[in-house]
Amino acid sequence: RVPWVDDKGEIQVNRGFRVQFNSAIGPYKGGLRFHPSVNLSIIKFLGFEQIFKNSLTGLPIGGGKGGYDFDPKGKSDNEIMKFCQSFMTELYRHIGPNVDVPAGDIGVGGREIGYLYGQYKRIRNANDQGVLTGKGLTYGGSLARTQATGFGIIYFVEEMLKEAGKTINGQTVVISGAGNVAIYAVKKAQELGAKVVAMCDSSGYIFDEDGIDLPLVQQIKEIERKRIKEYAVRKPSAKYFEGNKGIWTVKADVVIPCATQNEIDLNDAKIIVENGTFAVGEGANMPCTNEAEQYFLEKGILLAPSKAANAGGVATSALEMTQNSMRLSWSFEEVDEKLHGIMVNIFKNTRDAAKEYGFEGNYLVGANIAGFIKVADAMMAQGIV
Ligand code: NDP
């Protein structure tokens, strides 16, 4: 129960959760989500997926997830600080650098992590920097953590395309969302020569035939914290369309959903296939419904599953924990190079597990098997505990 007082002096009460799912290979690790849709069921599915994702990274991190059924939209900085402080006042007793290490997720970025960390430090009276990841660079954050999930997705997709004799260079790409993951997926895709033509938020999508102007998106979303609609007001070549489904009608070679769970259902999948898309990279957690995933596989679409493709964020969080323990900071290039190596490895392990168990080319099954085996082995080795 998370009580706080809003700017009008009224008392608000929200419900917070932290699900500690499995610690066989390391401390519980997984993000915190602030969104009105948050409930125990959503946090549990995310925590369950997180176990196998974290295992795939090859780093010593267990699986957990948390959240808060609070809508941060339209709240002042003061209100955000108040609810972060109240949330941490309860959460602090359940977490710690060797116990459980939360990070950001939907609605939780650098600002929120800062307020959460400040309150943790105040209560504990200790500089346990490794208790949270996604911290600011002035107090223990890692360079490249902000970019890591988005960059990692594109590194994984590029490996998957290379395996099929293709590359992302020159492809037309649609990336849904306009948050942390989407923005840095667009950045890396553009750096590797792709043309990204559409992005969205939960109100509607923008289509820009000239290719997305990312600094303009960042100005609107990261600095002004406005809606994506604003992009079309400022960019003459762009159009804005209301509704969060239309983005899947945009023709693209590669589609990368980076907004939220279940954003692509069977109907959307059919439209995407009809449009000639040959690869789908799941940037958000489980953005395709089971039916949509199966449809893509039946139609021979290359599918990068979220627990493998978006593992770069948590992998870099684990690198942040390493730097905190060493009391050192690595350069951007050093962290990015490690991230790249980790994503290439995740792809190889996923591909090889699929092949070994008779599912060649099915990266969905490959990621599940590769992630599961390590956790199961560690649990069995540790006995009945
Ligand atoms: P953000 O809150 O930064 O951004 C989420 C974006 O998705 C916003 O633009 C939001 O728009 C949009 N969105 C939310 N719901 C919908 C919807 N129903 N239809 C269309 N757009 C929608 O979150 P992140 O970028 O951090 O996370 C995105 C996804 O990636 C989540 O599934 C998350 O679990 C996953 N992920 C994140 C990681 C990270 O490091 N941040 C790591 C691994 C996975 P609006 O502003 O309108 O709500």
Residue 218 CB–ligand 1 contact under 6 Å: no
The ligand 1 atom at the shortest distance from the C-alpha of residue 247 is 20
Q: Encoding tokens for residue 91?
A: 């959460």
CA distance 334 to 325: 17
Residue 12 CB–ligand 1 contact under 6 Å: no
Which candidate in 29, 53, 65, 307 is catalytic? 65
Q: Encoding tokens for residue 302?
A: 């290359």
Yes or no: say if 314 and 339 are a contact pair by the CB < 8 Å rule.
no
3-state class (DSSP) for residue 382: coil
pLDDT of residue 70: 87
Q: List helix spans (H) across the chain.
A: 40-56, 77-91, 110-124, 145-163, 180-191, 214-218, 229-234, 266-274, 290-298, 306-309, 312-326, 332-356, 363-381
Interval between CA 125 and ligand 1 midpoint (Å): 33
pLDDT of residue 39: 96
The ligand 1 atom at the shortest distance from the C-alpha of residue 109 is 3
Pocket test for ligand 1, best of 46, 153, 181 (most atoms within 8 A of CB): 181
CA distance 143 to 99: 24
Interval between CA 164 and ligand 1 midpoint (Å): 29
CA distance 268 to 296: 11
Pairing of strands 63-68, 16-22: antiparallel
3-state class (DSSP) for residue 6: coil
Is this structure's pTM higher than 0.85? yes
pLDDT of residue 244: 82
User: Exposure pattern of 17-41 as b/e (b: 16+ CB <10 Å)?
Assistant: bbbbbbbbbbbbbbbbbbbeebeee
Q: Is 348 among the catalytic positions?
A: no
Residue 19 CB–ligand 1 contact under 6 Å: no
DSSP string for residues in 28-95: EEEEEEE-TT--HHHHHHHHHHHHHHHHHTTSS--EEEEEE----TT--HHHHHHHHHHHHHHHGGG-
Interval between CA 180 and ligand 1 midpoint (Å): 7
Please name which of 176, 20, 152 lies closest in space to residue 98, comparing C-alpha atoms. 20
pLDDT of residue 288: 98
pLDDT of residue 365: 98
Residue by residue, pLDDT tens for the chain (385 residues) are: 999 999 999 999 999 999 999 999 999 999 999 999 999 999 999 999 999 999 999 999 999 999 999 899 899 999 999 999 999 999 999 999 999 999 999 999 999 999 999 999 999 999 999 999 999 999 999 999 999 999 999 999 999 999 999 999 999 999 999 999 999 999 999 999 999 999 999 999 999 999 999 999 999 999 999 999 999 999 999 999 999 899 999 999 999 999 999 999 999 999 999 999 999 999 999 999 999 999 999 999 999 999 999 999 999 999 999 999 999 999 999 999 999 999 999 999 999 999 999 999 999 999 999 999 999 999 999 999 9
